[in-house]
């Protein structure tokens, strides 16, 4: 049966990809990176002015090298949070507010009341400072529920930034355009780093050490990621040839990018690969249910998945037997790799995968029965079937001790924040 999906835009690109040699040897790049890291550590130690420290943390974050200085960043922000800060500069107040909130440190939105007039509206004078206005706009997007001042700030700054945009010059023009599309706190940081590097070089007083380190680190990590993409593409090619389910999506590169967006650092290579493979097998199960299997066939497959052993293959329709066998093989490989590297046992992923199969079956049962559930029940099941809850569990299991203490138990409880994310994802997907 032919696939109802578009073929992969990547085709065999990554499977056949042969990395080109870097301009400089990796050994030299790593040595140079170590030297530059020491220079930046010295910057953190000698930077005592709070405004300079905030600027340093912001630049390090936006250049994509924050993971190299997590301890220094945390110390700097804790000190900034404890220190008194009196400023009438919109940019500085906004920068402090955003950085603190992004790192889980409380900052009151009342600091922005000083930029309002007696009539309770924001002063028009702040629109004459486009850089400060952009910083205020981005800061407002770390709002929580019940903060009308920040909601008002978003509307105010967005309106004026859109008006100012045609008259702005580079690099501020590009930054405003990008933020109006996706505000800085909501953007993917690796993409932001790639876009920010050439912009940072144009800023007055930019630090060449920070920029050089960011470029070297990005290239070194990119080399790692490309090797992983080649490896997972080869894995997919072997899996696809074995299971012979030509109707399913070829989206293994996209599955890898999900993991890459969660943990891109070199030391998380195992986590990325297992996360991507889990996500792809999850996608394959979704396609079996949506595209090919009848309700009776999927009931049989689900029954085997719930039993989770080789003998249950007798329950599975003939054309899905290879898929079921491969599913068990994959999870045995995951378990071996995770156990060897001291991660959490694979049982949590197995149980989550089994639950995911039940969600797919429930959707199919409702459709077959022409059942019309309440909006609340429909949204709950649809949110669970998106796989967002499952991906959160996969993340915590893969990270093992690298995750915060209690994080796995927290994810397994499907807290409100995960469910909200799942519901938003489902609604956005269904309204496209």
pLDDT tens string 369-417: 999 999 999 999 999 998 889 989 888 888 877 778 888 889 889 999 9
Crossing angle for the helix pair 416-430 and 375-385, to the nearest 10 degrees: 90
Across the strands, what pairs with 386? none
State yes or no: pLDDT of 342 exceeds 80: no
Cα separation, 38 vs 194, in Å, equals: 23
305: closest CA among 297, 296, 313? Answer: 313
Average pLDDT on 225-254 reads 94
At 403 the pLDDT is 78
pLDDT in tens, 57-112: 999 999 999 999 999 999 999 999 999 998 999 999 999 999 999 999 999 999 99
pLDDT in tens, 161-214: 999 999 999 999 999 999 999 999 999 989 999 999 999 999 888 999 999 999
Q: Per-domain residue ranges for the chain?
A: 26-213, 244-430
State yes or no: pLDDT of 4 exceeds 60: yes
26-213, which class in CATH? Answer: mainly alpha
- CA atoms in the 13 A half-sphere facing the CB of 430: 12
Question: Percent of the chain scored above 70 by pLDDT?
Answer: 98
Evaluate whether 26-213 and 244-430 have a shared fold: no
At 432 the pLDDT is 61
Crossing angle for the helix pair 252-262 and 269-287, to the nearest 10 degrees: 140
At 2 the pLDDT is 57
CATH number for the domain running over 244-430: 1.10.600.10
Q: Are 95 and 142 in contact (CB under 8 A)?
A: no
Confidence of residue 301 (pLDDT cuts 50, 70, 90): very high
Q: Per this entry, what is the length of the chain?
A: 432
Confidence of residue 23 (pLDDT cuts 50, 70, 90): low
What's the pTM value of the predicted model, to 2 decimals? 0.89
Q: Are 289 and 314 in contact (CB under 8 A)?
A: no
At which residue do the structure tokens 């080649």 appear? Answer: 230
């Amino acid at each position: 049966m032919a696939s109802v999906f578009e073929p992969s835009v990547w085709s065999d690109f990554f499977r056949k990809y042969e990395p080109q040699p870097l301009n400089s040897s990796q050994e030299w790049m790593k040595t140079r990176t170590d030297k530059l890291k020491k220079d930046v550590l010295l910057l953190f130690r000698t930077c005592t002015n709070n405004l300079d420290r905030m600027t340093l943390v912001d630049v390090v974050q936006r250049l994509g090298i924050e993971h190299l200085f997590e301890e220094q960043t945390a110390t700097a922000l804790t000190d900034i949070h404890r220190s008194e800060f009196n400023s009438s500069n919109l940019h500085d107040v906004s920068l402090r507010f955003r950085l603190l909130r992004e790192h889980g440190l409380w900052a009151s939105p009342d600091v922005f009341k000083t930029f309002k007039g007696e009539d309770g509206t924001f002063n028009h004078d702040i629109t004459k400072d486009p850089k400060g206005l952009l910083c205020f706009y981005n800061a407002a997007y770390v709002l929580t529920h019940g903060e009308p001042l920040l909601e008002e700030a978003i509307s105010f700054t967005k309106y004026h930034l859109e008006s100012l945009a045609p008259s702005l010059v580079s690099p501020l023009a590009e930054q405003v355009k990008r933020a109006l599309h996706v505000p800085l706190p909501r953007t993917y940081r690796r993409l932001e780093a790639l876009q920010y590097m050439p912009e940072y070089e144009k800023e007055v007083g930019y630090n060449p050490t920070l920029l050089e380190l960011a470029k070297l680190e990005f290239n070194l990590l990119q080399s790692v990621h490309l090797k992983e993409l080649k490896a997972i593409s080869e894995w997919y090619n072997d899996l696809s040839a074995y299971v012979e389910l030509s109707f399913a999506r070829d989206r293994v590169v996209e599955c890898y990018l999900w993991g890459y967006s969660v943990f891109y650092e070199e030391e998380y290579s195992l986590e990325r690969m297992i996360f991507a493979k889990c996500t792809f097998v999850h996608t394959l199960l979704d396609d079996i249910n949506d595209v090919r299997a009848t309700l009776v066939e999927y009931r049989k497959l689900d029954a085997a998945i719930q039993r989770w052993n080789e003998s249950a293959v007798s329950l599975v329709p003939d054309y899905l037997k290879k898929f079921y066998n491969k599913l068990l093989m994959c999870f045995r490989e995951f378990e071996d790799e995770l156990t060897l590297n001291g991660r959490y046992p694979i049982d949590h992923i197995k149980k989550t995968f089994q639950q995911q199969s039940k969600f797919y079956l429930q959707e199919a049962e409702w459709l077959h029965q022409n059942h019309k559930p309440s909006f609340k029940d429909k949204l709950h099941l649809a949110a669970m079937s998106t796989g967002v809850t499952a991906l959160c569990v996969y993340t915590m299991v893969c990270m093992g001790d690298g995750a915060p203490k209690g994080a796995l138990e927290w994810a397994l409880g499907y807290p409100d924040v995960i469910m909200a994310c799942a519901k938003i994802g489902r609604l956005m997907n269904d309204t496209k």
